[in-house]
């Protein structure tokens, strides 16, 4: 019996997972990648990315509602058949694999450059990966509940960060507004939009586990809006406190922001406490992508369970992360110049094709009436309300 049999999460937990996932690694890297193009207009780039993100959330919600709690793989397989549907879904899984590599890279780089410079990068990835694997093996209900507990902590730390930085705000840092035109703002908005919002297409994998049969639009949009507001405020505060030059040159401006907190010489150097906020958000985003990777593979290969895949996949991910990040400069160049297009292709165009297929193509009838192919009961997808279940 799979650990995910009849696993259910509430709509509130679902929305929280989306909120934390949206913030994800963006909270660490967003100020740099927006300021690289749009300088002091980074906040405008983020605002643009936010509105585009809400629209994208609407697209994901449309897909989620039409899935009617059937797994994404099952919906695709019913329309494209076993082989083509499987191939199509493998592309989606591959994109999650690549996304996990970026997340692990960012996490390990952050830890080695800012917090634990003496610790080997392998050790950091190994321990972070181990926590992800353990969380996955405990099941979606466990980490959705944990998310519910950690969300107030995350919000508390975020509010504390914003409030404590208020005295250091310098409004002239925003000026001049749109001095170089609109194009740099769009250039800055693209990676922000992709990293923050488009990569959350993986929420579609969580849909079969959400309890009830109601529409999910409100909850998905709530997740995107709250996550987007957090990211917007982080970029805005970065512009106002650090200014565009520091934002652009520092790899982790949010960390520098936390270092700047100094209240009356008694409350200072709280960046290590703030780092907990980033660890939570990166952890949850990685976990949701790892869930997509592992559960998706189990579904495509018609496995009854998936937890035995976690350790081997963890080993592969560790190797690919270490190999994929020879140095921070090469990695950042790929991340800014090429990765947004990868995200758009695999996390936006693919879901759009999925939406088209779900709307336009009729489900293929089962070959033998009353006999369920094994692929229709993949790991972790045994929902009692699935219409095709006996």
Partner 1 sequence: MTSVLAVLALAAGAFWLEAPGLIRRQQFRELSAFLVLLLIGTVLYSLLMLQLSLPNPFMLVKWMFRWMGTAKSF
Answer for which of 66, 250, 260, 302 binds partner 1 (CB under 8 A) is 302
How far is 50 from 46, CA to CA, in rounded Å?
6
Comparison of 66 and 302: residue with beta carbon closer to partner 1: 302
Q: Which residues of 284-311 are buried (b: 16+ CB within 10 A; e: fewer)?
A: bbbbbbbbbbbbbbbbbeebebbbebbe
Q: Is omega for the bond preceding 324 within 30 degrees of 0, making it cis?
A: no
What are residue 362's DSSP bridge partners? Answer: none
Comparison of 13 and 108: residue with beta carbon closer to partner 1: 108
Please state the closest distance from residue 370 (CB atom) to partner 1, in A.
Answer: 23
264 sits near partner 1 (criterion: CB under 8 A): no
Answer for which of 141, 148, 211, 305 binds partner 1 (CB under 8 A) is 305
Give the contact letters, 91-130, x = binds to partner 1 (CB under 8 A), - = no: -------x--x-----------------------------
**How many Å separate Cα 99 from the centre of its chain?**
8
Please state the closest distance from residue 324 (CB atom) to partner 1, in A.
Answer: 5
* Closest by Cα among 124, 123, 157 to 20: 157
Please enumerate, as own/partner, the contacts of 272-277 that have beta carbons within 8 Å and a separation of 24 or more: 272/115, 273/157, 274/157, 274/161, 275/114, 275/115, 276/153, 276/157, 277/27, 277/154, 277/157, 277/158, 277/161
How far is 222 from 390, CA to CA, in rounded Å?
35
Residue pair 166/24 in contact (Cβ under 8 Å)? The answer is no
Please state the closest distance from residue 328 (CB atom) to partner 1, in A.
Answer: 12
Answer for which of 159, 308, 349, 359 binds partner 1 (CB under 8 A) is 308
201 sits near partner 1 (criterion: CB under 8 A): no
Number of residues that bind partner 1 (CB under 8 A): 31
Please state the closest distance from residue 96 (CB atom) to partner 1, in A.
Answer: 13
Answer for which of 86, 191, 314, 351 binds partner 1 (CB under 8 A) is 314
Q: Reduced to 3 states, what is the DSSP secondary structure of residue 235?
A: helix
Residues between 320 and 379 that touch partner 1 (CB under 8 A): 320, 322-324, 326, 331, 334, 337-339, 341-342
| Binding region for partner 1 (CB under 8 A) | 98, 101, 297-298, 301-305, 308-309, 311-316, 318-320, 322-324, 326, 331, 334, 337-339, 341-342
């Amino acid at each position: 019996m799979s650990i995910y049999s009849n696993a259910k999460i509430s709509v509130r937990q679902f929305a929280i997972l989306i909120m934390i996932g949206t913030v994800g690694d963006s909270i660490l890297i967003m100020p740099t990648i927006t300021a690289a193009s749009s300088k002091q207009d980074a906040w405008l780039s983020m605002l643009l990315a936010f509105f585009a993100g809400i629209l994208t959330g609407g697209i994901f919600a449309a897909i989620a509602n039409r899935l009617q709690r059937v797994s994404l793989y099952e919906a695709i397989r019913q329309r494209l058949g076993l082989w083509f549907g499987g191939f199509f879904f493998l592309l989606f899984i591959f994109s999650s694999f690549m996304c996990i590599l970026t997340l692990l890279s960012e996490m390990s780089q952050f830890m080695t450059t800012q917090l634990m410079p003496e610790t080997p990068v392998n050790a950091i990835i190994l321990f972070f990966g181990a926590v992800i694997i353990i969380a996955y093996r405990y099941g979606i209900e466990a980490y959705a509940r944990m998310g519910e507990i950690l969300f107030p902590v995350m919000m508390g730390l975020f509010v504390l960060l914003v409030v404590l930085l208020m005295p250091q705000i310098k409004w002239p840092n925003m000026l001049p507004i749109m001095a170089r035109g609109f194009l740099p703002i769009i250039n800055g908005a693209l990676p922000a939009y992709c990293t923050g919002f488009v990569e959350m297409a993986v929420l579609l994998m969580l849909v079969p586990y959400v309890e009830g049969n109601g529409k999910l639009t409100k909850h998905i949009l709530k997740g995107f809006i709250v996550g987007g507001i957090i990211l917007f405020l982080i970029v805005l505060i970065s512009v106002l406190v650090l200014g565009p030059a520091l934002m652009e040159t520092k790899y982790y401006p949010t960390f520098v922001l936390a270092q700047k907190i100094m209240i009356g010489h008694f409350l200072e150097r709280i960046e290590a406490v703030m780092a907990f906020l980033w660890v939570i958000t990166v952890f949850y985003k990685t976990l949701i992508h790892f869930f997509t990777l592992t559960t998706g593979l189990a579904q495509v290969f018609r496995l009854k369970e998936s937890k035995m895949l976690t350790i081997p996949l963890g080993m592969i991910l560790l190797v690919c992360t270490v190999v994929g990040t020879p140095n921070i400069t090469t990695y950042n160049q790929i991340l800014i110049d090429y990765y947004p297009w990868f995200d758009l292709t695999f996390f936006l165009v693919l879901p759009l094709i999925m939406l088209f297929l779900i709307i336009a193509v009729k489900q293929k009838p089962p070959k033998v009436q009353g006999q369920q192919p094994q692929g229709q009961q993949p790991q972790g997808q045994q929902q009692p309300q699935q219409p095709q279940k006996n």
